[in-house]
A and B are shown apart, each in its own frame.
Chain A
């Protein structure tokens, strides 16, 4: 779908789901998790904060008399900083609105608020991160309308990528803009920092990418904000939507994007594209993840810890053959990808929470150095009749696996003050509780369970003969069996008679060989079960025909 610049803004809203409506979370040490979501109450949009940690569990609604659109949150030590904005206005009503940065303490109090402005532009902050020294980096769009009337009577949007650094106390240290003329529009921004470098991922649509959407990667020095590199990666004739990025401990950067495939004027498929960078410069490798024909994979978030990358998203599919009205039928499942290094993919998990919750996605993931991985997402449009809902509640898992409570909150607590406090405590909620929104979206938070790989042996069985007259003595040899790591500790042989399943145990122990004499005519299957020292098992068998 080739994008005309004049329709960029509209298409962005229609074709690219905004992150604003999806929860974001972050965790520093694995024991505390912060989650951010937008929340509508009394016709006004607010920021909904959920916190669980040693200092307590609570939920807060942050907002006021005007709409607030929370976008991203980062945990800094025991605090959290979230960013957002005040939404958009039409050309006629346009007023330059600032971006919003708020620091919250573990007790739920506001440490400070900052409103960030740039000349006569509105600021839409979309992503925030922090370095180990507690400095805060945020990025977003600064934009305004062009006064020139376009054919059709509308006004184009002019903007630039706006990135800045705040100290931990909220002092502005530097701010930078990146722009391209004559046409440019950036959205879907994300940000990450490592080793004195700051990477900003933005969405570019303009002549440099043939007027298709493409990921734009900007590299800044964290110390002075100097631009070190800026690159656009595009596929001619294709839109590629950037989603998120993060560094691992070595400085390897993973940028997750997704790429729709159009045919006949409608989207037929969407695949995930991962790009890997080891610093300002070209990428190392790209990886595609596809669900095959008619599936829609979306990468929403990337989080790294150590050398692990986790990419959360959604996998939707539609009936085959596709129904023209696919929105009525498509089913979205939570998707979680796990990579170590930039290749190969080590695990792809298509998470299905429940058959009865058939439309869900993982919008955010936070991996921590303590190997705790948090995920959050939403369920949509689950039939009321099939869902037990405890309204206005949420629940969080702790690393111990024990369900902990989070407070509940109610709409009337959202007043006109800048910070509306919900009840500070609530009784523990039972497992299965969740948060319900007016639009029938349900929120969940979960914790990823890992299992360490148990290497399975590849069994191989050879025989001195596979047929002959009775009595037939056959030597079996499984010494050709192998295992990737560790060693094979036992070989258990078993002789199965005919098709009945009746069997005669053979030898069992460290010897890979076995001798058996078949005294009766018939068909036999001799199977060896091999065990590795890590507990993995593999088996092989042979059919012996005795006449």
Chain B
């Protein structure tokens, strides 16, 4: 683990290590490193194997209870279309922090939309380390994006935000349009094969030094699934370190990108709500 940290920590932390080679009219103290910011988006899985895997899953999966057979066939067909149309990376909802870990991980969560960037350390003893689960397309919240994620779509198909039971359906609204419908299948297709087994949590007193592995929080046991906010909340009875960070991993030990680091006192107290534009709209 330490050897891996030795590689990954510099990727995440653009530390202030500096040699000092003075030239007559300048210092060039910051060592250049292509690794420091040379982010590579993890390789997106090839469509062919994914489509084959999907066909296998369709062939071996029975129509779930409570879902109309015709609707299930429509959802399966839509999913096949979505997978076939996915040579492009998943649509990004907007800018996010770099995935500074450049390791290629074909089935580890990829894409900036799945990165944890809301890791928070709060409280004053005991403390809580909390973050939001991000795995686009994992509607049934089992950690993997598979054909089983069609089940919540089928069960709640047509439910809208105004529905009293929306709280039970909302996690199947993957495109966020306030309705569970066929377009939510596209998100499954774009992320089919993505998997998070859990998050490896690390702590350090020196952001530019070594990070200590504190343990793992798994989707199976630590995720609050029946909640409007898909949250991991880890209780810390003592603060062993000043800063904490984590990354997702899957059952092949492939790793996703680092989260933001969290330290005491870094929680925001306000956020930008918008800009009043003179354009009047």
Contact = CB atoms under 8 A, between A and B. Distances in A.
12 contacts: A291-B95, A292-B41, A292-B111, A292-B112, A375-B275, A396-B278, A446-B276, A450-B273, A458-B130, A458-B224, A459-B227, A539-B227
Interface string A314-340: 010000110000000000001111101
Secondary structure dominating the interface of A: strand
Interface in B34-73: 34, 36-39, 41
B167 A449 contact: no
A418 interface: no
Contact of B88 (A320, A403, A450, A540): A320
A267 to B, nearest CB: 15
Interface in A220-241: 229-238, 240
A254 interface: no
A102 interface: no
Contacts of B90: 292
B272 A289 contact: no
A394 B29 CA distance: 46
**Chain B interface, DSSP helix/strand/loop, else mixed:** loop
Interface in A353-371: 353-354, 356-357
B27 A344 contact: no
A538 to B, nearest CB: 6
Interface stretch (B138-146, B175-183, B260-268): B260-268
Nearest to A292: B92
A199 B179 CA distance: 51
Given A290-B96, A290-B98, A431 B278 contact: yes
Given A288-B98, A291-B92, A345-B97, A179 B25 contact: yes
Contacts of B227: 458-460, 538-541
A489 interface: no
Interface string A423-449: 000000001111000000000111111
Interface of B: 13-18, 25-30, 32-34, 36-39, 41, 87-92, 94-100, 111-113, 117, 119-120, 122-123, 128, 130, 163-165, 167-168, 207, 224, 226-229, 231, 233, 260-262, 266-281
A229 B16 CA distance: 15
B143 to A, nearest CB: 19
Contact of A321 (B88, B120, B164, B226): B88
Nearest to A310: B272
Nearest to A355: B281
Contacts of B95: 272, 289-291, 295, 297, 315, 335, 337, 348, 350
Interface stretch (A164-172, A279-287, A509-517): A279-287
A403 B276 CA distance: 10
Contact of A444 (B16, B18, B262, B279): B279
Contacts of A341: 266
Contact of B33 (A235, A285, A292): A235
Contacts of A501: 163-165
A451 B273 contact: yes
Contacts of B276: 397, 401, 446-447, 449
Contacts of B273: 449-451
A178 interface: yes
A89 B234 CA distance: 64
